[in-house]
């Protein structure tokens, strides 16, 4: 009898842990999550080891705007995520480094640039980025605590 009670409580606990894990996974996958920024490409706006809160809803509904800071898969290295600012939307004319000419951002793409243009590999190097590579939009910096700031535009 005590064994059955133990098994029942264990199954209840395991069920609770699984529910919590599923809710946590869905929240971080579809609603928002935390990202640690590394590298100098977004300085002075963001510095290495800043922790950002990002949301996943805006990119899914294609509601991105010029000036938004986004996290995306790198077009040149899909194993790496990049943090850049949207500087141009579909239909906008931009100037790229390679090839050295102006071009129009095609439909379904955005132009991403780092705030530190002297130290940023971005759309000026690899061209327009498909919107499908954008994973999330940065909402605010949450670490370090003395620099908690909203990074969204209104």
Q: Which residues are catalytic?
A: 41, 84
The rounded Cα 52 to chain-centroid distance in angstroms is 9
CB 98 within 8 A of CB 75: no
Among residues 110, 21, 130, the alpha carbon closest in space to that of 68 is found at 110
CA torsion 69-74-80-81 (nearest 10°) is: 10
CB 148 within 8 A of CB 141: yes
As beta bridge partners, residue 18 has none
**How big, in percent rounded to 5, are the helix, strand and coil portions of the chain?**
30, 30, 35
As beta bridge partners, residue 51 has 36, 143
């Amino acid at each position: 009898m005590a064994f059955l009670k133990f098994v029942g409580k264990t199954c209840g606990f395991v069920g609770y842990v699984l529910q919590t894990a599923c809710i946590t996974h869905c929240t971080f996958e579809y609603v928002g999550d935390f990202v640690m920024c590394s590298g100098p490409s977004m300085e002075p706006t963001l510095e290495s080891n800043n922790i950002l809160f990002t949301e996943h809803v805006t990119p899914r509904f294609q509601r991105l705007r010029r000036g938004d800071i986004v996290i995306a898969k790198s077009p040149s290295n899909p194993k790496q995520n990049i943090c850049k600012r949207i500087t141009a939307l579909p239909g906008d004319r931009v100037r790229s480094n390679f090839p050295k000419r102006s071009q129009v951002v095609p439909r379904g793409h955005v132009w991403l640039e780092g705030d530190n243009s002297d130290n940023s590999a971005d759309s000026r190097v690899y061209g327009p980025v498909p919107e499908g590579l954008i994973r999330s939009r940065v909402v605010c910096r949450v670490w370090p605590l003395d620099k908690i700031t909203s990074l969204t535009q209104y």
